[in-house]
Structure 1
Amino acid sequence: MSASGLTHPHAVSPSLNRAWLTPLELGGLAAIWGTPFLFMRIAAPAFGPLPLVELRLALGAAVLMPFLWRARSALRPGLWPRLALVGFINAAVPFALFAWAARRAPAGVGAITNSMAVLFTALVAFLFYGERIGPRRVVALLAGFAGVVVLASGKAAGESVAQAAAAGTTAAFLYGIGTNMVRRHLAGLPAAAVAAATLACAALLTLPFAVATWPARPIGAGPWSAAAALGMLCTGFGYAMYYRLIQRIGAARAVVVTYLVPLFAVAWAWLLLGEPLTSSMFVAGTLILGSVALGQQPAAPKGT
């Protein structure tokens, strides 16, 4: 229906629009969110973890700042300590862990462990908030953890990736804590504004450590470009795109992007960095992504 209440004779059906728009947006977001692990592999050796994280947080917050400005009246002063805590747990520390891991393992390792965030969100809700987890999610968690063990036992270029896998898994667990905090303590607030606020708080918290560890050597154009893309494209634009998807199709459907991110991350690293897909990464990725898919399946109705 048009604004006048009449059907436009040449209007495209909204259902047909969504039929191609949703997969296109999900695929586009997965392609974007598959690149942070690539960009961190390029930039982390030059910057170090904390300076790189500072750039990522500050640039991401800058891109999302218009959303925060528009909704500034909704974020009362008493909320800011909570926003800062969420920014620390859900952005500053996980980003630093992934940046640290990027110097020690292929991009696919970080991307695969990142997928565990969906399962850790359910686990944290069960452990700390009393939500039911159900037998299906218990099996999914066990399969996901088995995938992490397989991943940690693997090697890349003859070197163990166990430390990088542990860092990525810890970061995913922190994402699970942060997601539950947002759900319970920041519900009802504009999501993109919350993202901007938490990133800005995280940037302020990280700033002293970034300054203290800023590299003495000059940094080349390649790492600077990778850092800029990591902050502006992956963090700022990617978050904005994700929240648009949540508003349009709902969180349950938008989270499908989680299954696609590791595939794009491995593909980007293979195409642009020449990183191979090892057998342990393949087995671990299958177990973890399969567990995430299983954990997202709705429970069967009783009596069926």
Structure 2
Amino acid sequence: MINFLLFAATVLIWGTTWIAIAWQIGPVDVIISVFYRFALACIVFLIGLALLGRLKLPTQWRFVILQALCLFSVNFLCFYHATSLMPSGLVSVIFSLATIFNAINARIFFGEKVRPRTVVAGIIGATGLLLLFWRDLTVTFDIAVIQGVGWATVGTVLFSLGNMMSRKNNLHGVTPVIANAWGMGIGALVLLTIAVFTGATFTLPSSLIYIGALIYLAVIGSVIGFSTYLLMVARLGSDRAAYATVLFPVVALFMSTIFEGYEWHDTAVLGLALTITGNLVMFARWPAKRAVAL
């Protein structure tokens, strides 16, 4: 029951954060919005760890800083820009392919073999994305959506690199919780520095929708979402926990349909089905071959 609740919570939280990002677009500069999110998340995270008596400094900072750059700052600038150009649910679908980038980066950074199923999953997933955006690429040729795909892809690659840095932290004895807590703070400082040097305007949000989305993204999406996922990984293993990435794009597209007026068409339905299939192929456990007695 606990495993089911952790899985359901992760899918629902990660599936709904994308529409919350969309609600932050507009009244406040993108850089400032992402800064607000991770500054607040860091404060909540560190206070929570302190109250639990689990707050401590990382044994090394190099990969914590790199993780912060890839997971809690620059990648989300990309995702926020992508969300300003196309429906948030479509951004989540592109993000779900991070698992395939993880396999490639694991080969580069840790020498792990790229399994044949990774290639098959990548082909299926890429075909699904092509069909999902088919109308925007061929019928209407919406340049904004194409730019959004680019931003979302860069953000997903950075997210995958952040996962590799998280693995490096584990090898150096820095737990994901500690790395995430301090990493969010470092990410906020990086964003603050970028904002200052680019002359971004620090606007205090007055919209209740914006404030609600900010609190949801910082506390629910960043602190609780990452925590439920990490607990799920600890209890179920990374392979089974990764099925959450298969389902949350469905939740995100459902939210996008309701709140953003996303319009479905035949190729989009087929494209989503293929993208999900690609993720399933990536994580499916194939039955082991049995030796046949002669």
Q: Are residue 194 (structure 1) and residue 179 (structure 2) matched?
A: yes
CA contact (8 A) 1:86 1:181 kept: yes
Shift of the alpha carbon at 1:97? 0.7
Give the corresponding residue for 1:6: none
| Unpaired segments ≥5 residues, structure 2 | none
Shift of the alpha carbon at 1:249? 2.1
CA contact (8 A) 2:14 2:225 kept: yes
Distance 1:173 1:193 in 2: 23
CA contact (8 A) 2:70 2:161 kept: yes
Distance 1:63 1:269 in 2: 28
Equivalences, count: 283
* 2:113 alignment partner AA: R
Given the alignment, which residue of 148, 151, 164 partners 1:180? 164
CA contact (8 A) 1:109 1:164 kept: no
Q: Are residue 238 (structure 1) and residue 225 (structure 2) matched?
A: yes
Give the corresponding residue for 1:133: 114
Give the corresponding residue for 1:8: none
Give the corresponding residue for 2:270: 283
TM-score computed with the length of structure 1 as normaliser: 0.84
Cα distance change of structure 1 residues 119 and 294 upon mapping to structure 2, 3 Å threshold: same
Residue correspondence of structure 1 range 73-88 to structure 2 within 5 A: 73=56, 75-76=58-59, 79-88=60-69
Residue correspondence of structure 1 range 84-163 to structure 2 within 5 A: 84-155=65-136, 159-160=142-143, 161-163=145-147
Give the corresponding residue for 2:14: 33
Percent identity between the two aligned chains = 23
CA-based RMSD: 2.5
Secondary structure in structure 1 of the residue aligned to 2:263:
coil
* 1:284 alignment partner AA: G
TM-score computed with the length of structure 2 as normaliser: 0.86
Distance 2:205 2:242 in 1: 40
| Unpaired segments ≥5 residues, structure 1 | 1-19
Shift of the alpha carbon at 1:112? 0.2
Shift of the alpha carbon at 1:191? 1.8
* 1:255 alignment partner AA: A
* 1:150 alignment partner AA: L
Distance 2:78 2:112 in 1: 28
* 2:210 alignment partner AA: P
Distance 2:265 2:191 in 1: 34
Given the alignment, which residue of 144, 148, 152 partners 1:168? 152
